[in-house]
Amino acid sequence: MIAAALALVAFLFMIVSSYWPSSEKGVPRGVEVVGKVAGANISKAGGADVNEVSRYLAENAADCFRKNRYGLEPKSQSCAIYNIKTPEAITEENVTANLKCEDLPNNDCIGCGKCVSTRTAEQDKLFVNITRKESLVNIRYDGGERKIFIESFGCVDNLDCDDSSACTRDACLDKGTIDSKCENMLDCSLPACTNEEGKQGSSWCSLCKLPSEKGRCDDGIDNDCDGTSDINDTECKPCLPANKTEGESCNCDLECTSPLACANGACCPKDKVWNGTECVTSVSSGNDSGGQPRDPAQAFDIVFVPLNYGATDAEFGRFKASSDAMLAFFLRTSPFKDCADGKDRVVAHYIQPKDCQTRCGNDVNGLCRTCHTAAMGCVRNSQFANTWDKIVALTNTAFCSGVVGCVQDYGAPTGVSFSACGPLTPTHELGHQLALGHVRAPGCRNPADACEQPNNAADCNSGLTTCIMSYCRNRDRFCPAGYNHLKTNALATWVQGC
């Protein structure tokens, strides 16, 4: 009996110890496992060696890539979220130095050596953007771009939030409505809240819902929390003739009685758009630049244009996911973040890839010439022809190297960027569209035209390495001179009172 009891105790200890936090399992000092697809919470105190933590991140990134069939999985997922603390910010070079390149190649990295694989033709399968020495870091697989992202996210402290909000671990949230169960975006990846996905009235719906069900019509989740999901959601249904009249809500032109067209979510006559209450005439001209945007109204309108995408719903989903990521990054870095209703002051419009099948080149000539012409042509032929303040075009790529974004001049209507480069590149190009120039910073790559634009030339002398308009690695904000120009000039109409 004693022997049997001892054997049972030993067996139970083996089971418990397999889930118990332990530094012997390879978790270095300075790493706290906050959320993981499978695993327990682990707390570790103190600082850590950069290489030690970089090795840990590289191993987990490779494991995430393996679990997603080495880039074959079409759906995205967050594999792990860590709170790390190191003597200095970890760079992509640090992580790449610890990769098993056959498992996860990364051959497009500033300062990185050769890291290639015989398993795949595409060698750029990792993107790292860790902006702080102490940072929340998300390791995620992007099913659209088929690569791994290791990124910092969220706020650092309450100074990053306005007076009515508090920094709850990673997000600025209204102090009066913070929920104890799912109080920040981080929780959307944790078991405490994932079982509430799409449940109306839940914390998930108040914090994690998406603006549209489109592009996510097969996951069984009510992503926009409107009470319907997947094919039952109007946004997922095929476009069928419906003979709707002026002012009735719509998702496509076929639903409207000819010659009406679907403009901003409602059926309107040609050359008019829906402003929320009625169809109104917009101001435009037919010059070679593609026409002037309409008179500024309550919202800053961005039209997102897909270039070189296929015409399927899945392709629209990929395009929209990249567009939404850019929009979220722009909202949290631009002066719109100073407005309590900042998200309501920017309206995103999406052109369907099936309606924009003009091709352009994925090279410097394409990005800086033919892609701009193609993007403007698609806008001219859409219901948003007279409903834009700036146009952001994403050209479908599986790589991010060489010239990856371009505008034709400061203040230009269109900016074109590679979709594989994440939200930073199109935000950088939008900065140019809002009349910001490049800036220099110590230790960073310096573009030839740095500091030439007076609107933000002062940022060149600041010594900051975090400016979005620089060519630095840790770019996560518009620096003071550029931010001031956006708030007092380029975006002043839309951020009044903030």
Do 335 and 475 fall into the same domain?
yes
What is the predicted pLDDT for the residue at 230?
Answer: 81
The proportion of the chain whose per-residue pLDDT surpasses 70, expressed as a percent, equals: 77
Do 96 and 50 fall into the same domain?
yes
What is the predicted pLDDT for the residue at 101?
Answer: 92
Going by pLDDT thresholds of 50, 70 and 90, the confidence category of residue 58 is very high
CB 329 within 8 A of CB 423: yes
In a domain, 80, yes or no: yes
In a domain, 230, yes or no: no
Going by pLDDT thresholds of 50, 70 and 90, the confidence category of residue 146 is confident
What is the predicted pLDDT for the residue at 470?
Answer: 92
Res 180 pLDDT > 90: no
Mean pLDDT value across the chain: 78
Do 314 and 447 fall into the same domain?
yes
Rounded mean pLDDT, 114-125? 84
Greater pLDDT, 41 or 496:
496
- Most confident of the following: 58-67, 139-148, 222-231, 261-270: 58-67
Going by pLDDT thresholds of 50, 70 and 90, the confidence category of residue 174 is low
Say which range, 18-27, 104-113, 157-166, has the weakest mean pLDDT. Answer: 18-27
Angle, helices 424-433 vs 313-333, to 10°: value is 60
pLDDT tens digits for range 401-432: 778 899 988 888 999 999 988 899 999 999 99
In a domain, 498, yes or no: no
In a domain, 119, yes or no: yes
What is the predicted pLDDT for the residue at 17?
Answer: 36
Do 324 and 418 fall into the same domain?
yes
Say which range, 92-101, 223-232, 488-497, has the weakest mean pLDDT. Answer: 223-232
In a domain, 453, yes or no: yes
Do 340 and 271 fall into the same domain?
no
Fill in the amino acid letter for 382.
Answer: S
Going by pLDDT thresholds of 50, 70 and 90, the confidence category of residue 214 is low
Alpha helices in 131-218 (DSSP H): 191-194, 203-207
Do 113 and 168 fall into the same domain?
no
Going by pLDDT thresholds of 50, 70 and 90, the confidence category of residue 19 is very low
pLDDT tens digits for range 223-233: 788 888 887 88
Q: Position of tokens 């870095």?
A: 333
Nearest Cα neighbor of 91 from 140, 151, 47 is 151
Rounded mean pLDDT, 76-98? 86
CA R_g for the chain? 24
User: Which bin fits 270, alpha (ψ -120 to 50), beta or left (φ > 0)?
Assistant: beta
What is the predicted pLDDT for the residue at 185?
Answer: 59
Question: Total domain count for the chain?
Answer: 4
Domain boundary at 152, 170, 187, which? Answer: 152
What is the predicted pLDDT for the residue at 98?
Answer: 92
pLDDT tens digits for range 264-300: 678 888 777 776 678 877 533 333 334 444 444 478 9
Return d(Cα 181, Cα 72) in angstroms, integer.
34
* CATH number where 406 lies: 3.40.390.10
Write down the number of H helices and E strands in the chain: 10, 16
Do 271 and 378 fall into the same domain?
no
Do 437 and 306 fall into the same domain?
yes
Greater pLDDT, 310 or 160:
310
What is the predicted pLDDT for the residue at 285?
Answer: 30
- CB count, 10 Å around CB of 271? 13
Do 338 and 476 fall into the same domain?
yes
What is the predicted pLDDT for the residue at 119?
Answer: 78
Return d(Cα 47, Cα 74) in angstroms, integer.
37
Return d(Cα 468, Cα 446) in angstroms, integer.
13
In a domain, 44, yes or no: yes
Res 57 pLDDT > 80: yes
What is the predicted pLDDT for the residue at 286?
Answer: 30
Going by pLDDT thresholds of 50, 70 and 90, the confidence category of residue 62 is very high
What is the predicted pLDDT for the residue at 288?
Answer: 34
In a domain, 4, yes or no: no
Q: What is the pTM of this model?
A: 0.47
Rounded mean pLDDT, 374-389? 87
Rounded mean pLDDT, 341-349? 89
Domain residues for the domain of 187 are 158-207
Going by pLDDT thresholds of 50, 70 and 90, the confidence category of residue 172 is low
- CB count, 10 Å around CB of 461? 12
Do 350 and 447 fall into the same domain?
yes
Do 276 and 412 fall into the same domain?
no
Rounded mean pLDDT, 347-351? 93
C-beta contacts of 108-117 below 8 A and 24+ residues apart: 108/399, 108/400, 108/401, 110/445, 110/473
Say which range, 116-120, 139-143, 284-288, 427-431, has the weakest mean pLDDT. Answer: 284-288
Res 14 pLDDT > 70: no
Do 426 and 324 fall into the same domain?
yes
In a domain, 18, yes or no: no
